[in-house]
Amino acid sequence: MPKKEKNDLSNPHDLLVKATLSHPEAIQEFAKAYFPADILKRVDLPSLKLTNKSYVTEELREFHNDLVFSFTIDKQPGYAFFVLEHQSTPDPLMALRFVKYNIALIEEYIKEKGEKTPWPIIVNICLYHNANEKPYPYSTSVYDLFKDPLTAKALEMFTKFYLADLNSTPNEVLEQHGSIGLMEKLLKYSRHRDIFNVIEKELKRSKGYLIVRGDYWKTILIYSSYVIGQEEKSEKDLVSLFKEVLSKNEEEIMITIAQTIEERGEMRGKRREKIAIAKNMLKKGCEISFIEEITGLSRKDIEKLKQE
């Protein structure tokens, strides 16, 4: 994220606010005025400090600017994300912008501290004023941006996700899931040492469905050839299995497997090429983010190459 330089003040409103809140006593008084009362009681006020962090993008600085304060709450790190709204027309998407800014702050935080580090508490505050001297006209809750706020809030869209844990779900339950049961069972046992027998059992269980599903059996065959790649069972056994259980033509099965092997080889070749480019760029001192953009490799992969 871009950092604001000390004198990068694109608006006189920013100059006033930045100068005022550069003093420790003013920062504490700001917290006393705007922090939620129950949070304020837990904050170590002397720990409040102005940081040099900024998450508002350049194209939005014309409309609002941000200041980020760090503090300690219950002996744990926290941040106050303060946005100064100074456009003539209030921003109906301000709640969404806070979500984006918070994500950026947390991503930077865990990048510095490590992925397993607990996330910091963030207090979001928008100081609003405009020429019309009218109250802020929009909701401050992101859920109110939805057509059905109650359902969005009930789903806790911004606070949780729903976990479909195949490992802990009994097979009897997965088998009640109709057409997706085969997919779930294959994923669940994809790394199991007895995967070939699992495939055999699941093919027989799903035979009727696979017969009427057109070429979907080819997808199952391709996936099966991938997961048994390191098994003792050979591709010949796999061909025999699909021929016996699904009554498929042996030639069509072999062609499908051959095409899969060819495509997999091409992908490996492309990856080797990307790795070679990344290594060369690392030698030349290129930034990891730039190498990511050029090669499409993940940051994790590039950092591993850097350590080699």
169 shares a domain with 145: no
Establish if 287 belongs to a structural domain: no
116 shares a domain with 217: no
Domain boundary among the residues 124, 151, 178 is at 151
Tokens 């920062």 -> residue: 27
The predicted pLDDT at position 2 comes to 44
Establish if 286 belongs to a structural domain: no
The predicted pLDDT at position 1 comes to 46
Q: What is the pTM of this model?
A: 0.68
67 shares a domain with 127: yes
Establish if 211 belongs to a structural domain: yes
Give residue 305's region: left, alpha or beta (phi > 0; psi -120 to 50). alpha
Give φ, ψ of 300 to 5 degrees. Answer: -60, -45
- Nearest Cα residue to 171 out of 131, 219, 221, 205: 205
205 shares a domain with 96: no
110 shares a domain with 53: yes
22 shares a domain with 147: yes
Domain span including residue 202: 163-248
173 shares a domain with 140: no
Sign of CA dihedral 202, 208, 210, 213: negative
Give φ, ψ of 182 to 5 degrees. Answer: -60, -45
147 shares a domain with 16: yes
The predicted pLDDT at position 250 comes to 79
Establish if 88 belongs to a structural domain: yes
Give φ, ψ of 79 to 5 degrees. Answer: -135, 145
The predicted pLDDT at position 268 comes to 59
The residue type found at 121 is I
Question: Do residues 257 and 235 make contact, with C-beta atoms less than 8 angstroms apart?
Answer: yes
Q: What would the two tokens of residue 42 be?
A: 């837990």
Domain boundary among the residues 151, 172, 198 is at 151
Domain boundary among the residues 194, 215, 248 is at 248
The predicted pLDDT at position 40 comes to 95
The predicted pLDDT at position 269 comes to 66
pLDDT tens digits in sequence order for the chain, 308 residues long: 444 444 444 567 777 888 898 899 999 999 999 999 999 999 999 999 999 888 887 777 766 788 899 999 999 999 998 887 766 678 888 899 899 899 999 999 999 999 899 999 999 998 887 767 778 889 999 999 999 999 999 999 988 899 999 999 999 999 999 999 999 999 999 988 889 999 999 999 999 988 888 889 888 888 888 888 655 567 778 888 888 888 887 788 877 777 666 565 555 566 777 788 888 788 878 888 878 877 888 888 888 888 87
113 shares a domain with 76: yes
Establish if 33 belongs to a structural domain: yes
Q: Longest C-alpha distance within the chain, in Å?
A: 81
Establish if 26 belongs to a structural domain: yes
The predicted pLDDT at position 86 comes to 62
Burial class of residue 47 in the structure, from the number of CB atoms within 10 Å of its CB (0-12 exposed, 13-18 middle, 19+ buried): middle
204 shares a domain with 144: no
3-state secondary structure the chain: CCCCCCCCCCCHHHHHHHHHCCCHHHHHHHHHHHCCHHHHCCEEEEEEEECCCCCCCHHHCCCEEEEEEEEEECCEEEEEEEEEECCCCCCCCHHHHHHHHHHHHHHHHHHHHCCCCCCCEEEEEEEECCCCCCCCCCCCCHHHHCCCHHHHHHCCCCCCCCCCCCCCCCHHHHCCCHHHHHHHHHHHCCCCCCHHHHHHHHHHHCHHHHHHCCCHHHHHHHHHHHHCCCCCCCHHHHHHHHHHHHCCCHHHHHHHHHHHHHHHHHHHHHHHHHHHHHHHHHHCCCCHHHHHHHHCCCHHHHHHHHHC
- Nearest Cα residue to 25 out of 4, 44, 53, 45: 45
Establish if 308 belongs to a structural domain: no
97 shares a domain with 31: yes
135 shares a domain with 98: yes
Establish if 181 belongs to a structural domain: yes
How many domains is the chain partitioned into structurally?
2
The predicted pLDDT at position 47 comes to 96
